[in-house]
Amino acid sequence: MMKKVFTLLCAAAISVSGMAQQSPKKLTTEDYEQAAKFLGFNTYSLVDKANVSPNWLDNGSFWYEISVDGERQYVLVDPKKKSKETSTSLEELLGEKPEGGQRRSWTEVASPDGSKTVYIKDWNLWMRDNETGEETQLTKDGEKNYGYATDNAGWKHSDKPIVLWSPDSKKIATFKQDQRHVSDMYLVETKVGEPKLQEWKYPIPQDSAIIKIERVIIDTEDNEITKLNIPADARRGTLCDDIACDGTFGDNEWGPDSETLAFASVSRDHKKVTLRVANAETGEVRDIFTEETETQFESGQGSINWHYLPESDEIIWYSERDDWGHLYLYDLESGKLKNQITKGDFVVTSLTKVDEDKKMLYFYAQGKEDGRDPYFRHFYSIKFNGRGLKLLTPENGMHSVSPSPDNKYFVDNYSQPDVPNVAVLRDIKGRKIMDLEKADISHLEAIGWQAPKPIKVKSADKKWDLYGLMFTPTDLDESKKYPVVNYIYPGPQGGGVGGRYFSPSRSDHQALAELGFIVVVIDGSCNPGRSKSFHDACYGNMGDNTLEDQISGIKQLAEKYSYMDLDKVGIWGHSGGGFATADAMFSYPEFYKVGISESGNHDNRNYEDDWGERYIGLIEETENGKTNYELQANQYNAANLQGDLLIAHGNLDDNVPPYNSYLVIDALIKANKDFDLIIFPNARHGYGMDSYYMTRRRWDYFVENLMGAEHPKNFKIEMPRRR
């Protein structure tokens, strides 16, 4: 009997011991504090001499500011003498107090000579004489939703006038925007008492009429308006999903004599672009040429790359007609092609300088240098006739240049995601004049920081090489298994990695990895910066979301890195990444177990027309009676959810309205699916002051549901106080 009791007691002890071994791992406040050390507000200040941003002076020298051990230093460089002088006082360094420049309201635009400023009031354009303060009403027939120079519609909320001043500061190219017949958007501000309604025009793909612009030229000297002699144009641009991609009236360029204006007219679906030239006095318009594409036309990456050269009767044009983004030279008079300027299996991203006298172009390009990450950007020069292509920044990495006003020199900053920045001074032929600074990350490394690991995998169809970054815990134990978090931004206007420059923090990727995850970011096919066929791989189907590329890439990485646990894979993303995350959870539930979908545009019928129509095309009915947009919407697949899904949205999101998430929420409820939800009252697209709360909740969600561990309660991410 005693033997039997002893046996039972031993069995009970073993059972208790087994239960103890299976109890969930507990992450502590200290673990979260360790993770927070790697957030940007803690890491950026730990990099000394991070970057050189030159301020060029009239005498050809320049100065810049750097930080060393938390102290500001100012450096004066004389390119001719190849000399550097450093001081803690900028005034002492320059021998005089530097001019601060006149600050103006962000809702005003000054003329090139600074004598005049224009602004919008009551849907009309007004001008102020900056010397006398006298105000003049330039237009008088503007009315609500049919006003001048406005970009206040869709995802843009701005009262800044969209204008282009002529070089002589006498004329303005702008437009009268007709948005009366498009859909309205409504958001409600939460407050005590009666809620406050926000209402504005927000065009969507279902609208039969889109926003149109009636192009005009305003003579500010005579206060006369000349309407261009063409029908109203679609409110479309060649670079992005807005008429003012960089905040100015892009796709317009004055002749140097201020007598003619070149501009590009773009069709609603972005498939047809016509280059035109207008007479500023008469309003007569002449079509130069038209380019059409089966998918969507774009004029570059980061900048509009066509250039008007009336003095030589030429046009520099940008096209992807040979599958790569290149520059072409056209005859302005005949509209005929003279020659292709750049060619080869690489992409010109940004034309930065045109030297008309020397017939030289200076531009950024990606993918030309063999054996390098094709997203690394280099700086080149070439002649108008396509000869003499020269690499001006030979070092491997992501380059950013700042040319001098006289085009004799440029400052070159270059780095890689895992290699800190180096800044040098070069002459315009690319010869290095002198070293400037090399970033010092010793303070960063002192906290245990480590660089992300660059990765390369094959696309799901084995056609493309894909590139990305992987983040691991600083105390990585390769004998263990770690859950994997896939951060995703599927584009198609830009991927999840972002610029390939050095950065001490990229989102909260390293911070999340520090909690015990492997964080993987892969730029899948359908993203820009490569060939057109790469970018167009999922044209018409944004619901592709690069997910098969992501899954294939993670599996390839797991074959190489045995510490990746593919039984525990999560995914998160914001905006387009929120759309992709929900899609991943609904379409690939056997792979993705946990997802966090933030501010997703889950149904592009609920998002501004210009976005979807650029990358999907116009809305149309398919053979099964559903529209092409409906087939890509997330709510119709919500019943497939198997894992844990957290949805987050700001209820005042004026970019991606919260109704996108509400559609998915409603479908999940009707499918009787469990899910989690965070609504940020009165928050816009990026959550503002609530963003760090979202970051902490994201950590909690992956720790609890993907890692299966306990997290500290109510941990607060706090930014350090500035001195």
List, for residues 542-577, the tens digit of each pLDDT value: 999 999 999 999 999 999 999 999 999 999 999 999
Nearest to 550 by CA among 473, 603, 604, 489: 489
Using DSSP, how many helices (H) and how many strands (E) does the chain show? 12, 40
How far is C-alpha 640 from the chain's CA centre?
Answer: 31
- Binned at pLDDT 50, 70 and 90, residue 223 comes out as very high
- Binned at pLDDT 50, 70 and 90, residue 96 comes out as confident
Q: What is the mean pLDDT of the chain?
A: 95
pLDDT at 486 over 70: yes
State mean pLDDT over 455-468: 98
How high is the pLDDT of residue 657?
97
Report phi then psi at 639, rounded to 5. Answer: -65, -15
pLDDT at 173 over 50: yes
- Binned at pLDDT 50, 70 and 90, residue 102 comes out as low
Question: Could you give the domains of the chain?
Answer: 29-47+442-706 (3.40.50.1820)
Query: Which residues, 6 or more positions from 20, have their beta carbon under 8 angstroms from its beta carbon?
Result: none
Burial environment of residue 186 by CB neighbours within 10 A (0 to 12, 13 to 18, 19 or more) = exposed
Interval 415-453: pLDDT, tens: 999 999 999 999 999 999 999 999 999 999 999 999 999
How many Å apart are CA 622 and CA 605, to the nearest integer? 15
How many Å apart are CA 202 and CA 429, to the nearest integer? 48
Q: Measured between alpha carbons, how far is residue 267 from residues 237, 240, 271, 326, 612 in Å? A: 9, 13, 6, 21, 14
Q: HSE of 60 in the Cβ direction (CA atoms, 13 Å)?
A: 11
How high is the pLDDT of residue 542?
92
pLDDT at 346 over 70: yes
How high is the pLDDT of residue 474?
98
How high is the pLDDT of residue 351?
97
How far is C-alpha 428 from the chain's CA centre?
Answer: 29
State mean pLDDT over 648-654: 98
Contact criterion met (CB below 8 Å) for 182 and 268: no
Rg (CA), the chain: 28
Helix axes 576-587, 659-670, angle to 10 degrees: 20
Contact criterion met (CB below 8 Å) for 545 and 578: no
Whole-model pTM above 0.85? yes
How high is the pLDDT of residue 719?
87
How high is the pLDDT of residue 117?
97
Query: Which helix (H) or strand (E) element contains residue 158?
Result: none
Q: How many CB atoms lie within 10 A of CB 313?
A: 11
Contacts for 401-406: CB closer than 8 Å, 24+ residues apart: 401/352, 402/53, 402/54, 403/352, 403/353, 403/362, 403/428, 404/54, 404/56, 404/60, 404/62, 404/79, 405/56, 406/60
How high is the pLDDT of residue 242?
85
pLDDT at 304 over 50: yes
Interval 584-614: pLDDT, tens: 999 999 999 999 999 999 999 999 999 999 9
How high is the pLDDT of residue 268?
97
Query: Which residues, 6 or more positions from 306, have their beta carbon under 8 angstroms from its beta carbon?
Result: 238, 264, 275, 299, 315, 316, 317, 318
Largest CA distance in the chain: 114
Q: How many CB atoms lie within 10 A of CB 473?
A: 21
Interval 353-398: pLDDT, tens: 999 999 999 999 999 999 999 999 999 999 999 999 999 999 999 9
List of E strands, 501-643: 518-523, 564-574, 594-598
Query: Which residues, 6 or more positions from 325, have their beta carbon under 8 angstroms from its beta carbon?
Result: 300, 301, 318, 319, 347, 348, 349, 532
Contact criterion met (CB below 8 Å) for 83 and 126: no
How high is the pLDDT of residue 100?
66
How high is the pLDDT of residue 13?
46
Interval 673-707: pLDDT, tens: 999 999 999 999 999 999 999 999 999 999 999 99
pLDDT at 718 over 60: yes
pLDDT at 721 over 90: no
Task: Tell me how many degrees the CA angle 643-544-242 measures, rounded to the nearest 5.
Answer: 115
Nearest to 296 by CA among 60, 591, 614, 54: 614
List of E strands, 10-152: 55-56, 62-68, 71-78, 83-87, 108-110, 116-121, 124-129, 135-137, 146-148
How high is the pLDDT of residue 11?
45
Interval 38-84: pLDDT, tens: 999 999 999 999 999 999 999 999 999 999 999 999 999 999 999 99
How high is the pLDDT of residue 98?
79
How many Å apart are CA 675 and CA 691, to the nearest integer? 21
- 3-state SS assignment for residue 247: coil
- 3-state SS assignment for residue 722: coil
Contact criterion met (CB below 8 Å) for 562 and 478: yes
Q: How many CB atoms lie within 10 A of CB 215?
A: 25
Interval 658-673: pLDDT, tens: 999 999 999 999 999 9
Q: How many CB atoms lie within 10 A of CB 537?
A: 22
How high is the pLDDT of residue 99?
75
pLDDT at 639 over 60: yes
How high is the pLDDT of residue 379?
98
Burial environment of residue 417 by CB neighbours within 10 A (0 to 12, 13 to 18, 19 or more) = buried
Query: Which helix (H) or strand (E) element contains residue 446?
Result: helix 442-446
- Binned at pLDDT 50, 70 and 90, residue 2 comes out as very low
List of E strands, 9-61: 55-56
Helix axes 576-587, 547-560, angle to 10 degrees: 70
- Binned at pLDDT 50, 70 and 90, residue 491 comes out as confident
How high is the pLDDT of residue 22?
58
Backbone dihedral region for residue 270 (phi beyond 0: left; psi -120 to 50: alpha; all else: beta): left
Question: Cα(first)–Cα(last) distance of the chain, in Å?
Answer: 75
How many Å apart are CA 660 and CA 581, to the nearest integer? 14
